[in-house]
């Protein structure tokens, strides 16, 4: 309550009492309490909050804004949010954003911005217009969250869906996809391609004798050795176990594939026990770009040739006996 009172005198100047009024300010105090609670809540948010005037000039930001972007209020007040622009979006992107705000009064989506230290980062941003009783925009409120970790997880998931987690080489799925495209390219260019199916000789003995950790390290060494023996345009894959596959494109003849196989087949010795080494049995299938074939056929033929290399005494290179 707000009480006001004033003394009242008669015409003779004699004091007659007080004239007062009382105003119930409960609704106003309730609103003030709600506003204070809202402001406190916004300041405690992990999400960044930015408020602009109708001309999109910044008037207020919360502490999370500063934590995420590195900009305190005094650095951005009176400036436009474009101070955060990363340069990754073209003019059409922002024109669409402002058009949605004008028509719908809101916009949300993924956007890349730049922190004060220059680091570019992704955020999920929601912008809403605030209007007065006459429908005139008085403010814009943006709420955003840093989704750097989420994007990293998504990227890692995409990577693991196409790559072997141990060696970083392509997995079976990516290998078959790349090989199918390579076949189409070979048909157009009439250049040859080859599939090398590689199996390690003696790997089981290493695994059984020294344990799986040593075996895993050996597989990573083999992967590194293989990638060091091929061109950047070629593909190395680990479909599973101690098997590796290499896809070679733009070859003049099968002899080119044999040359690469010989480079790969150099024995690998264990660093802590040089007396132990693994060798390679390699099968090669070749496609000249003329006849019809597919990825599974070429892989099967190379796999069959690899087993012929195993049966011939291991540490050998064999060509597919069946014409493609």
The closest of 283, 197, 187 to 237, measured between CA atoms, is 197
Is 201 catalytic? The answer is no
Tokens linked to 91: 């003019």
164, 201, 242, 303: which one is catalytic? 242
d(CA 282, CA 265): 8
CB atoms within 10 A of CB 236: 26
Task: Mention every residue, 6+ apart, whose C-beta is less than 8 A from residue 57.
Answer: 78, 79, 80
Catalytic residues: 242
């Amino acid at each position: 309550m707000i009480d006001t009172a004033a003394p009242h005198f008669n015409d003779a100047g004699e004091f007659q009492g007080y004239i007062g009024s009382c105003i119930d300010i409960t609704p106003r105090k309730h609103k003030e309490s709600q506003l204070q609670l809202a402001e406190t809540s916004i300041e405690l948010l992990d999400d960044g909050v930015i408020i602009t005037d109708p001309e999109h000039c910044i008037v207020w930001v919360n502490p999370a804004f500063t934590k995420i972007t590195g900009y305190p209020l005094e650095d951005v007040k009176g400036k436009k949010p474009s101070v955060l622009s990363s340069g990754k979006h073209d003019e059409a992107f922002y024109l669409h954003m402002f058009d949605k705000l004008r028509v719908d009064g809101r916009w949300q989506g993924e956007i890349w911005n730049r922190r004060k230290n220059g680091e570019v980062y992704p955020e999920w941003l929601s912008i809403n217009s605030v209007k007065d009783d006459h429908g005139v925009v008085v403010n814009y409120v943006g709420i955003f969250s840093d989704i750097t970790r989420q994007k990293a997880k998504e990227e890692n998931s995409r990577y693991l869906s196409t790559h072997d987690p141990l060696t970083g080489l392509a997995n079976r799925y990516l290998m078959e996809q790349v090989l199918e495209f390579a076949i189409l390219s070979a048909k157009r260019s009439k250049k040859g391609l080859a599939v090398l199916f590689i199996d390690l000789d003696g790997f089981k003995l290493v695994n059984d004798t020294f344990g799986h950790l040593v075996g895993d390290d050996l597989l990573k060494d083999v992967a590194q050795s293989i990638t060091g023996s091929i061109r950047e345009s070629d593909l190395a894959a680990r479909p599973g176990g101690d098997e590796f596959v290499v896809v070679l494109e733009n070859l003049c003849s099968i002899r080119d594939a044999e040359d690469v196989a010989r480079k790969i087949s150099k024995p690998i010795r264990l660093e802590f026990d040089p007396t132990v080494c693994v060798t390679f049995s390699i099968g090669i299938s070749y496609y000249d770009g003329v006849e019809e074939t597919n990825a599974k056929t070429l892989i099967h033929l190379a796999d069959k040739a690899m087993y012929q290399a195993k049966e011939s005494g291991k540490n050998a290179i064999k060509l597919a006996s069946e014409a493609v």
